[in-house]
Chain A
Amino acid sequence: MKARIVVGAHYGLRDWLAQRITAIVMAVYTLVLGIAILSGGAASQESWRALMGNGFFRFVTPLFVIALCYHAWVGIRDIWMDYVKCVSVRLTLHVVTILVLTGYAVWAVQIIWRL
């Protein structure tokens, strides 16, 4: 039997899955960073800079940032879709959300890679 796809642009499942995968990436990063801080990684500014500037965190922090921005995009977009009925306002909010999140991602990576 041929599967009938009746409506929609079909990005729903992809975003649903992305929401969960990015959540797992962020959860793992949070636990790793939490353990690093608990073992003295933020005892002083020198150790904090050394922690965030080491090869491992220089690699994984940008991954966390990208996961966070994608995750935030799906979540905030859901909020706009639920509560903002006027299409032009909603489109504007979507665009603004994408723009600020892209800016934040670049900003965060620049903070880390400057170390």
Chain B
Amino acid sequence: MTEMSKTRPKFLNLAEIRLPLAGYVSILHRVSGAGLFLALPFLLCLLQMSLGTAESFQNFKSIVGNPLVTLVLFGLCWAYIHHFCAGIRFLLLDLHIGIEKEQAIASAKSVLVVSLGLTLVIALKFLGVF
């Protein structure tokens, strides 16, 4: 018994863990949620500036125009959309919709694709590409 428990493998090495696609959707749901929570004061500041005086709106525009801030905002944009899409997937799973293996894999894949794709569209729109 003790011999068995000693040799039992433990897969707790983050560098070695291989997750199925749905597992990545799930952990990214948590990571994006945590990121959005940490960014809340920053986002509230931006909202306040954007709705303030004309002067504060100019400040808002220059802050948002800073390349580093823009990059962070793109990241937060992805976090929001991923959290949104993955959340809808979880709600549907709660309702026993799409719980078959193939459907679940397909929905996990579409969450990743849609959130990255939408973020890309918004980023390109923001940068004035179209």
Contact sample, A vs B, 28 pairs, CB 8 Å cutoff: A20-B91, A23-B87, A23-B91, A27-B84, A27-B88, A30-B84, A45-B50, A45-B54, A45-B57, A48-B50, A48-B51, A49-B51, A52-B51, A72-B33, A72-B36, A72-B37, A75-B33, A75-B34, A75-B37, A76-B34, A76-B37, A79-B34, A100-B40, A104-B40, A104-B44, A107-B44, A111-B44, A111-B47
Q: Which residues of A contact B16 (CB under 8 A)?
A: none
- B interface residues, how many (CB within 8 angstroms): 19
Give the 9 A-B residue pairs with the shortest CB-CB distance, closest first.
A45-B57, A111-B48, A75-B33, A72-B37, A23-B87, A104-B40, A76-B37, A107-B44, A49-B51
Does B94 interact with chain A (Cβ within 8 Å)? yes
Does A115 interact with chain B (Cβ within 8 Å)? yes
From DSSP, what is the main secondary structure of chain A's interface residues?
helix
Q: Which residues of A contact B41 (CB under 8 A)?
A: 100, 104
Q: How far is the CB of B52 from chain A (nearest CB, A)?
A: 9
Q: How far is the CB of B103 from chain A (nearest CB, A)?
A: 20
| B84 & A108 in contact (Cβ 8 Å cutoff) | no
Q: How far is the CA of A79 from the CA of B36 in the complex (A)?
A: 14
Does B30 interact with chain A (Cβ within 8 Å)? yes
Provide the B103-114 mask, 1 if CB < 8 A to any CB of A, else 0.
000000000000
> Which A residues have a C-beta under 8 Å from some C-beta of B?
20, 23-24, 27, 30, 45, 48-49, 52, 72, 75-76, 79, 100, 104, 107-108, 111-112, 115
In the complex, besides A75-B33, A104-B40, A112-B51, 11 extra interface pairs with C-beta distance below 8 angstroms are A20-B91, A23-B91, A30-B84, A48-B50, A49-B51, A72-B33, A72-B36, A72-B37, A79-B30, A100-B41, A108-B47
